[in-house]
């Protein structure tokens, strides 16, 4: 039985670990041809081993996606390898936390570059390719922090709110070109052992205010991304899909 993404060409950024790695594994199982991008080539090689279990051999791209040339090269590689880009899943990002009176300008600029500029650049070059085929699905990574606010998330909330706004604007601008643009906004994510290539992971408190009784998992966002990338979502655009177990329903 063919997968939901059979023969679709999908570029996934931030694929060396975390949500990007889990998404790469699931996209491969759904039949997608993959270009996996990150600055961490060692992590990409680990992700490659996961996708091989689905008999899918990904193309890897290592580069600093906060830079314009790297994004151009990433999309060009996908087109050269597979002929087109059907899906861009913008997962890559790095964050530094703090309230407005605490965070330095350097940290603020770092978050802007690694969460907002990186998203803009990926979108820019994906759109330039997708406009030629008059089709495509772009999926950006927002956060409930950008929609409702979270303590000590000043820069993070600002960027993720901006990503939500950019997503809606792009849906309006590029819908006439056959391009759908949506975003996923998860709450705090609890990663399983080995899912993130970081020295330490945030210690999450018990989810006392989550109606479904647990934190989000990277599999939750990956499943949502598969839906948005697939033809099942052919009439879905300009949406910010909240993945929070009902927390924001309070």
- Please write the tens of the pLDDT for every residue from 47-95: 999 999 999 899 999 999 999 999 999 999 999 999 999 999 999 999 9
What rounded mean pLDDT belongs to the chain?
Answer: 93
Please report the pLDDT score of residue 203 as a whole number. Answer: 57
Sheet containing 240-243, strands listed edge to edge, beginning at the edge strand earlier in sequence? 59-62, 33-38, 9-13, 87-90, 136-141, 179-186, 240-243
The correct answer on CATH 3.40.50.720 for the domain covering 9-249 is yes
Number of C-beta neighbours around residue 158 at 10 A: 18
Please report the pLDDT score of residue 45 as a whole number. Answer: 97
Indicate whether 41 pLDDT > 80. Answer: yes
User: Residue 158 — pLDDT band, cuts 50, 70, 90?
Assistant: very high
From residue 223, alpha-carbon distances to 108, 148, 160, 217 in Å are 31, 23, 20, 10
pLDDT digits (tens, 9 = 90+) for 10-26: 999 999 999 999 999 99
The answer to whether the pTM exceeds 0.75 is: yes
- Three-class secondary structure assignment of the chain: CCCCCCCCEEEEECCCCHHHHHHHHHHHHCCCEEEEEECCHHHHHHHHHHHHCCCCCCEEEECCCCCHHHHHHHHHHHHHHHCCCCEEEECCCCCCCECCCCCCHHHHHHHHHHHHHHHHHHHHHHHHHHHHHCCEEEEEECCCHHHHCCCCEHHHHHHHHHHHHHHHHHHHHHHHHCEEEEEEEECCECCCCCCCCCCCCCCCCCCCCCCCCCCECHHHHHHHHHHHHCHHHCCCCCCEEEECCCHHHC
pLDDT digits (tens, 9 = 90+) for 91-145: 999 999 999 999 999 999 999 999 999 999 999 999 999 999 999 999 999 999 9
Q: Under a CB-based contact definition with an 8 Å cutoff, are residues 160 and 143 in contact? A: yes
Please report the pLDDT score of residue 44 as a whole number. Answer: 97
Indicate whether 199 pLDDT > 70. Answer: no
Domain boundaries, the chain: 9-249
Indicate whether 205 pLDDT > 80. Answer: no
* Residue 49 neighbours by CB under 8 Å, 6+ apart: none
């Amino acid at each position: 039985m063919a997968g939901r993404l059979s023969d679709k060409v999908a570029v996934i950024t931030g694929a060396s670990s975390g949500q990007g790695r889990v998404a790469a594994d699931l996209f491969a199982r759904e039949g997608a041809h993959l270009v996996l991008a990150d600055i961490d080539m060692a992590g990409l090689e680990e992700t490659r081993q996961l996708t091989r279990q689905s008999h899918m051999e990904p193309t890897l791209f290592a580069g600093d996606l906060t830079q314009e040339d790297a994004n151009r090269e990433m999309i060009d590689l996908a087109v050269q390898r597979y002929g087109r880009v059907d899906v861009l899943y913008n997962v890559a990002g790095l964050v530094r936390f703090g309230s407005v009176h605490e965070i330095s300008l350097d940290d603020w600029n770092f978050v802007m570059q690694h969460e907002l500029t990186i998203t803009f650049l990926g979108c820019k070059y994906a759109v330039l390719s997708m406009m030629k085929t008059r089709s495509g699905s772009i999926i950006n990574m927002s956060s409930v922090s950008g929609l409702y606010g979270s303590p000590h998330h000043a820069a993070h909330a600002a960027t993720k709110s901006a990503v939500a706004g950019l997503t809606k604007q792009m849906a309006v601008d590029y819908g006439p070109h056959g391009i759908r643009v949506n975003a996923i906004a998860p709450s705090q994510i609890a990663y399983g052992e080995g899912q993130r290539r970081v020295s330490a992971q945030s210690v999450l408190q018990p989810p006392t205010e989550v109606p479904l009784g647990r934190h989000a998992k990277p599999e939750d966002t990956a499943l949502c991304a598969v839906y948005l990338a697939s033809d099942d979502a052919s009439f879905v655009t300009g949406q910010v899909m909240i993945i929070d177990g009902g927390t924001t329903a309070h």
